[in-house]
Amino acid sequence: MNPGVMTRPAEMWNTAYDNDTAPWVIGAPQPAIVALEKTGLISGRVLDPGCGTGEHTILLTELGYDVLGVDLAPSAVEYARRNAADHGVVARFEIADALRFGERTDWAGAPAGSAPAFDTIVDSALFHVFGTEPEARAEYVNSLHSILKPGGLLHILALSDTESGFGPRISDALIRESFGTGWELEDLQPSSYRGRPITTAQEGRFDGIELGEGTIDVAAWLTRLRRV
């Protein structure tokens, strides 16, 4: 890994969870991910990177999947574990850096480190965080490739630049450009992402955010890629 490439500090994300100023925390799974699960395109060992409060890990665990939720922010992982306990679900969560998944040989098969670890990866609103950071984005794509089994599926739900709103937004072209050698793009469709409306914000900060009531649905992309 390029030592000059880093994810954003965990402290920044901790602030969002500790202060309840994360517009992506809605207390439920994303409807797009719920619908995705019903298609049968999630199977085997599943990774939920950037799991946040753990809604998707909890959902998939309840449905019988072998799933691991990971996040860079300790506050997110603590929140997710409390959330799972409140739901009466024994779900697994760990702290992990999304740019360094390849270093986690303990996630792989038997013997440890012998093979990529996961059959399916479900990325809900993590990939787009690297939209303006080409080096970090490339590191993240390589990181995903290193732990997804050949033939495995990567699903990405990312905010779309076709409309304005909260969060980093990306184009479908950027998604296509980011996944070249080692990937086959199977599907890329308009979708939607549900979040909480922001009434006041300070650029690049979560301690200055004020959120409105209820939820809003905004434009997104839902992408399916196969690891080759």
Q: What are the chain's domains? A: 97-199+212-227 (3.40.50.150)
Note the pLDDT of residue 111.
56
* Chain centroid, CA 152 distance in Å: 16
207 contacts 198 by C-beta, under 8 angstroms: no
Note the pLDDT of residue 3.
36
166 contacts 218 by C-beta, under 8 angstroms: yes
Amino acid, res. 57: T
Mean pLDDT by 10 residues, the chain (228 residues): 48 73 86 98 98 97 98 94 98 96 79 75 97 94 95 98 85 98 98 84 52 85 98
Q: Residue 197 and residue 24: Cα distance in Å, rounded?
A: 9
Radius of gyration (Cα) for the chain, nearest Å?
16
134 contacts 100 by C-beta, under 8 angstroms: no
Note the pLDDT of residue 112.
55
What is the CB-side half-sphere exposure of residue 211 using CA atoms within 13 A?
A: 19
Note the pLDDT of residue 1.
40
Cα–Cα distances in angstroms (integers) from residue 11 to residues 2, 74, 136, in the given order: 22, 9, 18
Query: What does the pLDDT look like over 161-208, one tens digit per residue?
Result: 998 877 789 999 999 999 999 999 999 999 999 988 776 654 444 555
159 contacts 218 by C-beta, under 8 angstroms: yes
157 contacts 123 by C-beta, under 8 angstroms: yes
DSSP string, 112-124: TTSS--EEEEEEE
Record the tokens describing residue 66, joined without a space.
Answer: 């072998």
- In 50-116, the DSSP E strands lie at 66-71, 92-95
DSSP string, 143-166: HHHHHEEEEEEEEEEEEBTTS--S
